[in-house]
Chain A
């Protein structure tokens, strides 16, 4: 009987071994994943077990924590002027997890990040309570306020960047939401949260339009097309005539004309005049002459087709499409399948303004431990160089003409050199929906180039002819630039 007994002994050993392997799998291999699963309530319990660290703008916290008595959670997140800052902070809710900076820097804000290990250990010995660290942003409170109030009741977004560093100065999106309204876990919080969802509110207040929504960039994209023409040597002088017939028919089509808005002097117009009047025919032809490959390459140098633009909140990918000749010509004037986020267009203005260098956009300057030790400091990085310094000068000069005596006069600031470009992007089948009004610009002073900005306004009730970016979007851009410049003095 002993032989089968020994076999049974081995079998029982294997059963125990299987259990050991399984617990190793669950607790070690899958452990971290299970530990951080958003449905694992421990994540939220931990997050709200201590006063959460703050998100700082200009030395002041835009967030806070308050004690609650809601079961498992000791603290609740609060927001100061939540609607204005929501596109920056995101939300942290006891019931609905967190997003954006609140989520990405959760370890620092909660105080569990490994980089806080030292100060946590010190706290343990000195009897101090664990407290989260702070996230110091690059945002400019005045610029943000100007952007948010400028947008007002309109649907749209603003992104402003410091061209020299890539620091994001303003990031506004309207309509917005107050993350305080559902920070807790009561029924009221749930109602507030549900009311903000897309299915209940078609305006999508929780969509971060500045980073996560792509629009056809319209005529503002002509800045990229002009850059492509100069960089690829198609034209060398922005003041000499281009080879641009009027009327112009799209290539490979049986006489489908590309029209201009109104009766503007576009025949053989120089790049300066073409940008000033926003000539579709001139830039459509440039795009066609350069071809899809070169256009795409230049757009990509400006940041298009990059799915990994992390600010650290990830921006949606802006698209310059791979397409046939007529579609490519349309894409050259910011139509067809061409799509860009407001941040992307601010990056375009920024690269031109900074002498052709594109800096990596970022909005977290420092992560600071509770004892004020800096655990992470951002150093500005160059992303690419879409323009040579000489060509950047040329593009700057024609953009400045647009503001000086072109479509963008509404953005003029006395005593400051402003360069910009308006845009009115068609939208909807057969252009039946209200178009998007765009404006991108930068401001230069003797001391440097402190701000580049992009504004987009989704079709409002204003009359179609009246919606041109110059009238709706440019004034907002102006207010934002002024706010930044004021802080410079």
Chain B
């Protein structure tokens, strides 16, 4: 731990600039790019500038502006990149959803709702920055977090499944909620608090065997519990993505906390074993793997959703068809605006645009990890690596699934995809990361004049 408190060379030298003006300049672009994209779609689809463009740009500008002012006031030393990237991704996501709303075969319009959820997300973001003065307060709620996370994870079992995956809590009259998105943050808080306390026991009390440090049996307990839990999510909620996310998150945080490579080995063995075991009897998983291996296969003579997504990507080529000029409406399945939105991105802005968006995600993830590096307290380090790691895994699992790199799992692309829970939870995630980075980069207060120091100076000639 001593290494981390003294290591302030990467970020956070005393007197470091706050970079708030940098953030403001980038925010201007983060608002302007989606506005131009909006106009572009309107011109392509209807030949006119869409009527809502003024309202939309004012709305997005207002959200970004308020967020910036709040960051300037309450987290002045926070990372300058995260807010612009999140704004840009959210803004582009809204444009792509609005663009798909123009295809009437894809069902009712979703963009207005998504705008409302984004506003709520930003509101939560602001609330966290204003009311959470110090992220270490969260440490107090370690075990409450555990209970809440378990409830959130288990709850969907009792609600009807949607399209083969039970990841929803449906509240009649109010709509539905995807608790997994929130559980991701809360469980990161629990892991951070728990591992901070237990990490010495986990790291040191072990036997060396074949170059690996084998943990004691009782220390293996937690990892086995999490493992069993993620397998249960997989089996009872048929949710491959969430179970992968939680297990991966736990292994990453365990590795960071203990600095023991053996945990990674155990993690990989357990997840591989679990996945194979479940795949042997879960037809849902088998179907996903089959579709992954044969993406272009015809189903009853018809083209599958997986194949349509591949055709979308391929037809986009390097530069894409142009916004509003693609045919991603052909992805007629369950989720063209959420899970498969990346296919529309790939088709309409091409390889170039898709790579830019993936790099934005990469940048956001690496800024989160940088925050972990810069954080001075172990809880902050663990929490920020947990949040960034979860974000990274989610991006990889979704984007990898849609592009056919790995089997498809039902998760949403953070910020970009349609889905209220997702956008709210991810704004909260960014808010916590900003809070930690503000603490990390804040200049240390000037040392208080010490009486001892004065005395020694008197002695010195």
In the complex with contacts A8-B389, A39-B303, A40-B314, A22-B365 CB distance below 8 A: no
List the A residue with the shortest CB-CB distance to B391. A12
Q: Please, which residue of chain A has its CB at the minimum distance from the CB of B7?
A: A2
B330: Cβ under 8 A from any A Cβ: yes
Interface positions of B from 1 to 51, Cβ below 8 Å from A: 1, 3-4, 7
Residues of B within 8 A of A37 (CB): 296, 311, 314
Decide if B366 touches A2 in the complex (CB within 8 Å): no
Q: Chain A residues near B256 (CB, 8 Å)?
A: 1, 4-5, 8
B369 within 8 A of A: yes
Q: Is the CB of B3 within 8 A of A1?
A: yes
In the complex, the answer to whether A35 meets B396 with C-beta atoms within 8 Å is no
A9: Cβ under 8 A from any B Cβ: yes
Considering only residues 28-63 of chain A, those with a C-beta below 8 Å from chain B are 28, 30-35, 37, 39-42, 45
With A and B bound together, what is the CA distance between A5 and B307 in angstroms?
Answer: 38
Which size bracket describes the interface of A in this complex?
20 to 34
**Residue B90 lies at the interface, judged by CB distance under 8 Å to chain A:** no
**Bound state CA distance, A28 and B366, in angstroms?**
27
- A23 with B362, Cβ < 8 A, contacts A40-B315, A41-B330, A42-B327 known: no
Residues of B within 8 A of A1 (CB): 1, 3-4, 256-257, 259, 378, 381-382
Given known contacts A1-B378, A4-B256, A5-B381, is B315 in contact with A26 (CB within 8 Å)? no
C-alpha spacing A45/B325, complex, angstroms: 12
**A31–B346 alpha-carbon span in the complex (Å):** 11
Asked whether A27 and B314 contact (CB < 8 A) given A1-B381, A12-B369, A16-B362, the answer is: yes
Number of interchain pairs (Cβ within 8 Å): 140
Would A12 and B358 count as touching, CB distance under 8 A? no
Q: Is the interface of A mostly helix, strand, loop or mixed?
A: helix
**Chain B residue contacts of A33, Cβ below 8 A:** 314
Inter-subunit contact B313/A23 (CB<8 Å): yes
Does B268 have its Cβ within 8 Å of any Cβ on chain A?
no
- Interchain nearest-CB distance for A32 vs B (Å): 7
Residues B314 and A32 in contact, CB atoms below 8 Å apart: yes
> Of A2, A19, A20, which one neighbours B3 at CB under 8 angstroms?
A2
Whether A39 lies near B298 (C-beta < 8 A) is yes
- Report the nearest B residue to A36, measured CB to CB: B314
CB distance from B46 to the nearest CB of A (A): 18
Answer whether residue A13 sits at the interface, using C-beta atoms and an 8 A cutoff. Answer: yes
CB distance from B305 to the nearest CB of A (A): 13
Chain B residues in 8 Å Cβ range of A124 = none
B388 contacts chain A at the CB level, 8 A cutoff: yes
A5 near B372 (CB under 8 angstroms)? yes
- Cβ of B405 and Cβ of A19 under 8 Å apart? yes
* Other A-B pairs beyond A18-B405, A27-B351, A32-B317, 14, CB < 8 Å: A3-B259, A4-B256, A8-B256, A9-B370, A12-B392, A16-B365, A16-B395, A19-B403, A20-B355, A23-B358, A27-B318, A31-B317, A35-B314, A37-B314
> Can you give 24 contacting A-B residue pairs, CB < 8 Å?
A1-B257, A1-B382, A4-B255, A5-B369, A5-B373, A13-B366, A16-B392, A19-B403, A22-B404, A26-B310, A26-B313, A26-B314, A27-B314, A27-B318, A27-B350, A31-B316, A31-B351, A32-B314, A34-B313, A34-B314, A34-B315, A35-B314, A37-B296, A40-B315
